[in-house]
Structure 1
Amino acid sequence: MGDAAGISAELAARVLADEDVRAAADILVLGDARVLAQGAATAGVTLDVATITEGQSLPTQRDKPVLLDLGHCDPADVPLGEISEAGGRFATENFRRALAMAAGGEVDAVCFTPFNKAAMRLVTPGYEDEIGFTAEAIGFHGVAKEFNVLEGLWNARVTSHVPLKDVASLLSKDGILGNLRLTNDALKASGIARPRIAVAGLNPHAGDHGNFGREEIDIIAPAVEAGKAEQIGCDGPFPADTVFVRAKRGDFDAVLTMYHDQGQIAMKLIGFDSGVTLMGGFPFPICTAAHGTAYDIAGRGIAHPGAMRNAILLAARMVARENAPA
């Protein structure tokens, strides 16, 4: 469970009441029974979950979701709709515990209802994003990236949570090629046998043959050619203002963009309430809704569960494919 000050508890309750979610996987919820009860009341749903506490074993018969009640958050201590240390601490402790269980092989995947980065920083001042937190928590030293997934269309990005003024200096042929490899692998893990990846340019009109910048000529195009040489189905660089039009009509399975908002704006316009964020590259799937904590509607019972539902179903599909007999 994510930040208790936002819509996280309501979303958790809504997806736990969803028959498709319950059928897709054995669900273990990490949080506090009082917070989940508040979420269920807000959502207007009745939950059928088995509750255990610290030190108890998981039920051997998994006919319903299981709540591990950590008893660490009284909803009365978390002001709804506000950034708070209490909300951030609840999310941080749940996430860290879930990651440890996945790293130890106790669970196959981790999904979380939305966090608020400012609240997380009140607890962990060095908190930048979920990628860095996860890597530190499980001792991971490889390459991991965020992917946004919406209606069969994926968005990957070369740079992410960095100032826009730094983007051009952070681009390199090897960096883009590494992201092409990671994107190709993630798409295959999700069930796409022969991924088609479009690569966006950095500059207006993809540089217009060097008139508006040379990054496309000197860095991005060579990386695309190197990807093709490795049998990755990639093409580009394409102008960023038109490539999503082609991808949305089915020409590509994914678009690799050069910076955060280049892809995020397009994806959230296509479907804000159903997009998923996948943290790819880690030893296990980590998924969440692509939207945030929505403090402005917390407690009103109107949070849309579509993105969170899709996140859990994507994680379940990836695990099922990984565990399928060869």
Structure 2
Amino acid sequence: MGDAAGISPELTAKVLADEGVRAAAEITVIGEERVLAKGARVASVSLDIDVARDGEPRPRRAGRPLLIDLQHCDPAEIPLGEISEASGRFATVNFRRALAMAAGGEADAVCFTPFNKAAMRLVTPGYDDEIGFSAEAIGFHGVAKEFNVLDGLWNARVTSHVPLKDVAGLLTRQGILDNLRLTDDALRAAGIARPRIAVAALNPHAGDNGNFGREEIEVIAPAVEEGKRAQIGCDGPFPADTVFLRARRGDFDAVLTMYHDQGQIAMKLIGFDAGVTLMGGFPFPICTAAHGTAYDIAGKGIAHPGAMRNAMLLAARMAGREAAAAA
């Protein structure tokens, strides 16, 4: 369960009541029974789940989600729609426990309803994003990146949570090539046998042959050519203002963008209530909805569960494929 001050309790209840989600996986919820009960009331759903207090035996009956109740948050003490240390601590404790379970082999994938980064920083001052937090929590030292997924279209990015003024200096041939490899691996893990990846340019009109910047000539295009030599199905760099139109019509499975908003704006315009964020590269899938905690509508019962439902189903599908490959 994510941030208790936003729509996360409501979304948790809604996906737990979804028969399609329940049928896709054995679900264990990490959180607090009182917070989930409040979320169910807000969502106007009735939950058929088992509950175990932390440290107690965990019943596992087919088709019934299990809530591990950590008994660590009284919803009456959480100011609704506001950033608070209490809501950040609730989300942080739950996330650490879920990651530990997956790292220890007790779970095949991790999903979380939305976090609020400012609230998380009140508890963990060095918190930048979920990737860094997850890596620290499980002692992971490999390469992991965020992907956004919507209606079969994927968006990957070379740089992410950095100031825009730093982006050009952070682009390297090797960095772009590493992200092409990671994107190709993630798409294959999701069941796409021969991924087709478009690479976005950094500058307007893909640099216009060097008139608007030389990153395309000196960095991006050479990385794409090296990716092709490595048998990755990639092409580009393409102007960023048209590449998503081509991908949307089916020319590509994914677009590798150079910075955060270059892809995020396009994906959220395509479908804000359905997009999924996947953290790829970890030993197990980590997924969430691509939107945030929506403090402005918290407690109103109107949060759309589509993105969170898609996140759960993607995580289950990827975990199922990994389990089948390991068998």
* TM-score category of the 2 structures, normalised to the smaller one: over 0.9
Matched with 1:298 is 298
Matched with 1:220 is 220
Matched with 1:208 is 208
1:291 counterpart SS class = coil
TM alignment of 1:2-151, pairs within 5 A: 2-151=2-151
How many Å separate the matches in 2 of 1:314 and 1:255? Answer: 18
Matched with 2:250 is 250
TM-score normalised over the length of structure 2: 0.99
Query: How much has 1:62 moved relative to structure 2?
Result: 2.9
How many Å separate the matches in 2 of 1:179 and 1:270? Answer: 23
Query: How much has 1:61 moved relative to structure 2?
Result: 2.8
Report the AA paired with residue 21 of structure 1: V
Report the AA paired with residue 240 of structure 1: A
Query: Over aligned residue pairs, what C-alpha RMSD do you find?
Result: 0.7
Matched with 1:260 is 260
Report the AA paired with residue 17 of structure 1: A
Conserved 8 A contact 2:153-2:253: yes
Query: How much has 1:59 moved relative to structure 2?
Result: 1.7
Deviations 1:257-276 (A, max 9, x none): 00000000000000000000
1:268 counterpart SS class = helix
Structure 1 gaps of 5+ residues are none
Report the AA paired with residue 184 of structure 2: N
Q: Sequence identity of aligned pairs in percent? A: 81
Runs of 4+ aligned residues of structure 1 deviating over 2 Å after TM superposition are 60-63
Deviations 1:45-99 (A, max 9, x none): 0000000011123224333000000000000110110011111000000000000
Report the AA paired with residue 250 of structure 1: G
2:141 counterpart SS class = coil
1:52 counterpart SS class = strand
How many Å separate the matches in 2 of 1:118 and 1:324? Answer: 39
1:225 counterpart SS class = helix
1:232 counterpart SS class = coil
Matched with 2:185 is 185
How many Å separate the matches in 1 of 2:61 and 2:119? Answer: 37
TM-score normalised over the length of structure 1: 0.99
Deviations 1:114-139 (A, max 9, x none): 00000000000000000000000000
Confirm or deny that 1:275 pairs with 2:275: yes
2:266 counterpart SS class = helix
Conserved 8 A contact 2:23-2:63: no
